[in-house]
Amino acid sequence: MRRVRCDVCPRGCALVPGTVGACKARGNKDGNIVPLGYGHVTSIAVDPVEKKPLARWRPGSTVLSLGSYGCNLRCPWCQNHRISQVGSDGVSWRELSPEELIRLAQKVRAEDDRMVGIAYTYNEPLVCWEYVCDASILAHEVGLANVLVSAGCVNAHIVHEVASLIDAANIDLKSLREDTYDMLGGDLHAVRDTIEALAAEPGCHLEVTTLVVPGINDTRSEMRELAAWLAGVDPSIVLHVSRFFPNWRMHDRGPTPVSTVYDLAEVAREHLAYVYTGNC
């Protein structure tokens, strides 16, 4: 059987017919790589934009947030592992076409004038980037904004497809160390390219989150380097310095000390004007 290589992320899974990729949301169907998770919604809720987190984009508004299943990273502390680390047979889901999503979003907006758009979040939305694009196009047609919450570990042509459709994004920057991304099954260069591309997109407001994990990325030197790099991309980028709590496969250490989060936020402020702390 002929293998076909998926081109969505740096993993480049080579799949024979009937198999799925590492993300558990794309697979080889009849010789073609397809988004098996397209329109498969596991979670949906109305959230404040501040929960995404977005601190400086339409404060006080809400978005209709939805997620599917699957992710191309393997962060051992993942708080959404019950959907991000499983495939279609590991979680309950319901079909929601882009058209149905827009009708639901319009209904929510009619009931709450604070609601401004749709957020693609919870798992890694870009493993089914086709759904994000299809829904985002329809959302703009009815005056709804699009929010992307992603780890950003995809190839450049995928970012090119979605960037112009996204009004606000929060990208997880796990670390500025290649060996950390190697441990997570990701690629630092791909994430950096995603951040640079979204920062350069005129219609996209960009914020970045770094979860501070003890023993992984909690040094002042790494935070200083990370903040300096972001400032070099765009000094107006908003950074969220967030506190780790044990989850999924990482229970060998306690939560990040609050004092560490506050200290690293101060370090980041040496380079960035907008730095927020989270989970404290």
Q: How far apart are CA 217 and CA 185, in angstroms?
A: 16
Mean pLDDT over 241-260 rounds to 98
Contact present, 180 and 217 (Cβ < 8 Å): yes
Tens-place pLDDT, residues 208-245: 999 999 999 999 999 999 999 999 999 999 999 999 99
**Predicted pLDDT at 2:** 85
Instruction: State the number of CA atoms in the 13 A half-sphere of 104 facing the CB.
Output: 15
Could you tell me the domains of the chain?
A: 4-278 (3.20.20.70)
Tens-place pLDDT, residues 97-126: 999 999 999 999 999 999 999 999 999 999
